[in-house]
Structure 1
Amino acid sequence: SDRLNTRNMLKRRHYNIGDNLDCLLCGQHVEETVEHLFFHCDFSKACWDTLHITWPSHGNRLELLKQMRNLHPR
């Protein structure tokens, strides 16, 4: 719903955040988007690992959530 203030979203809304859109959590030269922060960021992956959760390696956020729901039904 575009509510998380990622660097990508702030830039699209014309906030003055500079030209560097790199992820602040992992420090890689990867644009900070919702998908990156929750599913692909090395820092986030380490956090998910502590919960014993491994996300599929590809897909958009809705596809990833559906895949995870299918892997772990209630």
Structure 2
Amino acid sequence: SDRLNTRNMLKRRHYNIGTNLDCLLCGQHIEEIVEHLFFHCTFSQPCWRILNITWSDHEHRLQLLERLKERHNH
């Protein structure tokens, strides 16, 4: 819903954040967007594994969250 202040969103809203949109958590040359931060970032993946949660690379983020809710009966 565009509520998380990712570097991508701030740039689209014309905040003066410079030209570097790389992810600050993992330091990789990958644009910081919601999907990367929560599902693909090398920083967040170990955090999810601690909770015994894995994400598919082929589904939309809303489908991923819905599947997680079903798996945990919430």
TM-score by shorter chain over 0.5: yes
The total of aligned residue pairs comes to 74
> For structure 2, which runs of at least 5 residues remain unmatched after alignment?
none
% identity of equivalent residues: 70
Task: Verify: 1:64 aligned to 2:69, yes or no.
Answer: no
Task: Verify: 1:8 aligned to 2:14, yes or no.
Answer: no
TM-score normalised by the chain length of structure 2: 0.87
Return the offset for 1:72.
Answer: 3.8
Task: Verify: 1:45 aligned to 2:45, yes or no.
Answer: yes
CA RMSD of aligned residues (A): 1.3
Task: Verify: 1:20 aligned to 2:20, yes or no.
Answer: yes
Secondary structure at the aligned position of 2:43 is classed as: helix
Return the offset for 1:53.
Answer: 0.8
Q: Which runs of 4+ in 1 moved over 6 A?
A: none
The Cα offsets for residues 27-66 of structure 1, whole Å up to 9 and x where unpaired, read as 1111100111011101000110111111112222112112
TM-score normalised by the chain length of structure 1: 0.87
Tell me how far apart the structure 2 counterparts of residues 58 and 26 of structure 1 sit (CA, whole Å).
21
> For structure 1, which runs of at least 5 residues remain unmatched after alignment?
none
